């Protein structure tokens, strides 16, 4: 039992923070269909999620997902993981992503849950905030 209350002992997600693969700055995509923003002022954290897809129906696959984030390391790790998870899935799957998924995949401590909620908020914004023009599907990178 750690009585020194530091909250830094677990952090299985650390490699993701140190080397994220889904930072939007590394993507050459010009037009993202969905972009959502959210922030958690109490943690001085912000997250922006970008989705590239050919429509918003349930079965539409997500071609690319990327993030920009500012905040404690766990926020960047959650955003990166979410993008990795999304890229293999569909819009329908995206709607079903929950905090429990993050907790399990990243072994989040209770004090780190807010980061998952932040990313989910940004994702919800991206799914809603579609810039999809039905006649002009996205041009792949």
Partner 1 sequence: MTIYFDHNATTPLHPDVFEAMRPWLMSRHANASSLHRGGREARAAVDEAREQVAQLVGAHPSQIVFTAGGTEADNMALKGIAGTTRPARLLISPIEHPAVTDAATALAASGWQVDTVAVDGDGRIDLADLERQLADGDVALVSIMAANNETGVIQDMPAIADIVRAANVWLHTDAVQAVGKYGFDFARSGAHCASLSAHKIQGPKGVGALVADKHLDMAPLLHGGGHEQGLRSGSYNVAGIVGFGAAAARLSEYRGAEIEHMRKLRTMLETGLDTMPGITRFSTGAERLANTCQFAVAGYDGEGLLMLLDREDIAVSSGSACAAGSGEPSPVLLAMGVDPAVARGAIRVSLGPENTAEEVEQFLKVLGRLSGGAAGAMPGSISASVLSG
Partner 2 sequence: MSAGADSIYLDHAATAPLAPGVADVMQRVLVDTPANPASAHGPGRAAATEVDTAAQALGGLINAPPGSLVWTSGATESINLALKGGAEFAGCGAHIVSVATEHRATLDALAWLEKQGACITRLGVDGDGRIDMDALSDAVDADTTLVSVMHVNNETGVVQDIAAIGALCAERGVALHVDAAQSLGRLTIDVGAMNIALLSVSAHKIGGPKGVGALYVRQRPRVGLAPGIHGGGQQKGLRSGTLATHQIAGFGAAARHVVAHRDAEQQRLAALRERLWQRIGATDGALRNGASDSVAAPFLSVSVSGVHGDALLTGLTEGEPALAVASGAACSAAKGQSSYVLRAMGRSPREAGASIRFSLGAGNDADDVDRAAERFVAEVARLRALSPAA
Q: Which of 76, 106, 116, 118 binds partner 2 (CB under 8 A)?
A: 76
Q: Is 93 an interacting residue with respect to partner 2 (CB under 8 A)?
A: no
Q: What is the side-by-side order of every strand in the sheet holding 62-70?
A: 34-40, 45-53, 62-70
Q: Is 136 an interacting residue with respect to partner 1 (CB under 8 A)?
A: no
Q: Is 4 an interacting residue with respect to partner 2 (CB under 8 A)?
A: yes
Q: Is 124 an interacting residue with respect to partner 2 (CB under 8 A)?
A: no
9-68 residues in contact with partner 1 (CB under 8 A) are 9
Q: Is 16 an interacting residue with respect to partner 2 (CB under 8 A)?
A: no
| CA neighbor of 38 nearest in space, from 1, 69, 76, 60 | 69
Q: Is 6 an interacting residue with respect to partner 1 (CB under 8 A)?
A: yes
Whether 72 and 45 have beta carbons less than 8 Å apart is answered as yes
CA distances from 93 to 36, 39, 59, 132 (A): 17, 23, 8, 18
Please, which residue, 4 or 25, has the CB nearer to partner 1? 4
Whether 49 and 83 have beta carbons less than 8 Å apart is answered as yes
Note the maximum CA span of the chain.
Answer: 60
Partner from partner 1, partner 2, none contacting 139, C-beta within 5 to 8 A by type: none
Q: Is 23 an interacting residue with respect to partner 2 (CB under 8 A)?
A: yes
Residues in touch with partner 1 (CB under 8 A): 1-6, 8-9
């Amino acid at each position: 039992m750690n009585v020194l209350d530091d909250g830094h002992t677990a952090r299985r997600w650390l490699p993701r923070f140190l080397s994220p693969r889904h930072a939007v700055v590394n993507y050459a995509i010009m037009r993202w269909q969905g972009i959502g923003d959210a922030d958690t002022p109490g943690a001085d954290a912000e997250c922006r999620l970008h989705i590239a897809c050919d429509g918003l129906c349930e079965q539409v696959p997500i071609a690319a997902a990327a993030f920009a984030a500012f905040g404690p390391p766990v926020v960047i790790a959650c955003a990166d993981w979410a993008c990795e998870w999304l890229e293999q899935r569909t819009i329908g799957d995206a709607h079903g992503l929950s905090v429990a998924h993050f907790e399990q995949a990243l072994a989040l401590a209770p004090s780190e849950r807010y980061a998952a909620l932040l990313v989910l908020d940004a994702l919800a914004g991206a799914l809603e905030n579609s810039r999809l023009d039905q006649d002009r599907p996205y041009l792949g990178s």
